[in-house]
Structure 1
């Protein structure tokens, strides 16, 4: 009896210690949830490149660093450059770009407009009073900027260690729960769809935005006088973002632009109607059919239902601020696979088994034995669903 009491006390002590540590770690993750979610996004986006590098690089640390610096850093730089082009174009066309930047940084919009219009003259106009003012307000500006780069560095560091040690974590989990368990099936399905969404859909947005950037600016080169596509860089960003909308994709951007150009051509010179027609044809082929038929299947493969994914991006951003565009899909995928693997059995009081019992078309299915690991992880072996 004494031994049993001591045993029970020991278990209570260990469970108390475990609950305290889990609660503390949960509070840390909750406090910096945006950084952790951003790190997970970078990890899944870089993992296909890491796995291919591991075929030729023996050390996982070198492969993880190579995947991040050879692929993820340029990707983030291109995304930032596209945003910069869009803000600068808004500033030129309507003075809105400076207002957007001033919303984030404590700098007057008029000062930003002067700096963008003529940087050399703006810098040469500094005097002692201006420099003192800059130094005195530098802390207000440096604070948000340094915080941004700190979170960016932490996100990249999280992704690095997940890439380097992810195989060990997966092996530990598989040994603990068993490869034939329902929990392992749930973890593999969630992991696979995270890979598909983060690597596929986000890459599709960036690729389509780059295509639109070339198409809109290229068409403006041959445009008749007074009939150019307005704010092409901003429209390119919107076209890339529109690929998240099922079926509609780029139509939500280039169709209104084509109608506007057509009306302008009819009003000014009907002989120039060929240009709106050319814009419609090129946009249909390059920004609509090409992403649907080539880009999305190659990048995304089988994924979560497109309509549900669209709402996860929208409501995630509305509910969780900037990191919601990453956190929303994460919650959606975790919830959908819980329904597919275990919720029906739990509701009916049945035993949860390693089988997908419902909602078969909402996400990835278990891979047949013998599939290549890279294909199983990226979704390349699956067929697109949810159109």
Structure 2
């Protein structure tokens, strides 16, 4: 009996030692993941954004690795580059706008930090762009060579991690999830949770979020093209910033985008009227039509109407979109909706299992049932 007790104690000790080793490993992985949190969150978004394209390529009989590569090259990388360009333009225009009103530099720095994606210093990027157009830009770049190399290499590392994570989530993600569920989910509740969360994330991230950025990009193209053709007296002020606001406004169905471009068009019309040159109203009217069609109707009709879901309450999603960037910075725009969906489905699937062992979950009532 004493020998069996000693063997039991040794076995428990070995298990505790292995458990401590695993705890250290998981702590290190968590620390690394936290250091790349923005990239991880954006990789999840990009995965759900390109996954429909990855799946649509099955019809051509291509292997999954080739499909993953084509999906990232055809959509993922161009979208990331357009997003980075749009963020840089918006950051620069916000800086210019605040400089006009002599806003203190501390507020500018906080705002730029809030729009920081993957630890890319947008304020420093603006400084480099400004120096590049000055006569002594070559001397400035040479003097700050190490700083420029550090900035660019850091951005490239983040970009590489993003692409690699997205690629392997497309290739091996479903198999990894299936292996984890088959190995550790005896009750089946985790499988139900994954099946509830996965389509909801797909609809929310690929629908609503993509709609935001497509609308913003359409606004950038529309407003900058208009400024190239229209007289300076009725040019759109800060077109990149207004396009970004239009993208954010698209989160509010029907009226959100109109709350952005209609006041801008009204302001330009008032400006044209005050100059006494009524011919200036013609390009303003053209801006109204272009904004209504290109920025408002087309993205809303072809994206929201076809790929956006409504399983999660629109009001709760809107609050998540607003609160996320305030709490977490720019990547909070993706993280907050993800957390919201995880919590909502956790309440409907996991809470009954925790409280009563129920594996089938409770039926969720909808607001329409109480009207």
> What range is the shorter-chain TM-score in?
0.7 to 0.9
Q: CA deviation at 1:250?
A: 0.7
Alpha carbons 2:352, 2:362 under 8 Å: kept: no
Alpha carbons 1:180, 1:354 under 8 Å: kept: no
2:78 matches 1:74: yes
2:172 matches 1:168: no
Alpha carbons 1:242, 1:249 under 8 Å: kept: yes
Relative to 1, partners in 2 of residues 1:295 and 1:81: Cα closer, same or farther, differing over 3 Å?
A: same
d(CA) in 1 for partners of 2:69 and 2:121?
35
Q: CA deviation at 1:336?
A: 1.4
2:50 matches 1:46: yes
Q: How many pairs are equivalent? A: 347
Relative to 1, partners in 2 of residues 1:143 and 1:222: Cα closer, same or farther, differing over 3 Å?
A: closer
Q: Scaled by the length of structure 1, what TM-score is found?
A: 0.74
For 1:358, what is the secondary structure of its paired residue?
A: coil
Q: CA deviation at 1:252?
A: 2.5
1:353 aligned to which of 332, 347, 359: 359
Q: CA deviation at 1:285?
A: 4.6
For 1:200, what is the secondary structure of its paired residue?
A: helix
2:215 matches 1:205: no
Q: Scaled by the length of structure 2, what TM-score is found?
A: 0.77
Alpha carbons 2:242, 2:260 under 8 Å: kept: yes
Q: Which residue number in structure 1 is paired with residue 341 of structure 2?
A: 333
Structure 1 stretches of 5 or more lacking a match? 363-387
Q: Map residues 213-362 of structure 1 onto 2, 5 A cutoff.
A: 213-217=220-224, 226-269=233-276, 271-272=278-279, 273=281, 276=284, 279-280=287-288, 282-343=290-351, 346=354, 349-358=355-364
RMSD: 3.7
Alpha carbons 1:246, 1:307 under 8 Å: kept: no
* Cα deviations by residue, 1:175-224 (Å, 9 ceiling, x for unpaired): 23559722111112222222222222232122212332344355557757
Q: Map residues 84-103 of structure 1 onto 2, 5 A cutoff.
A: 84-86=88-90
For 2:326, what is the secondary structure of its paired residue?
A: helix
1:16 aligned to which of 9, 14, 20: 20
Q: CA deviation at 1:326?
A: 2.4
Q: Which residue number in structure 2 is paired with residue 150 of structure 1?
A: 157
* Cα deviations by residue, 1:67-103 (Å, 9 ceiling, x for unpaired): 111210111122233345556777899978xx99997
d(CA) in 2 for partners of 1:150 and 1:218?
33
d(CA) in 2 for partners of 1:108 and 1:8?
59
Q: Which moved more, 1:221-230 or 1:190-199?
A: 221-230
Structure 2 stretches of 5 or more lacking a match? 101-107, 113-119
d(CA) in 2 for partners of 1:11 and 1:148?
42
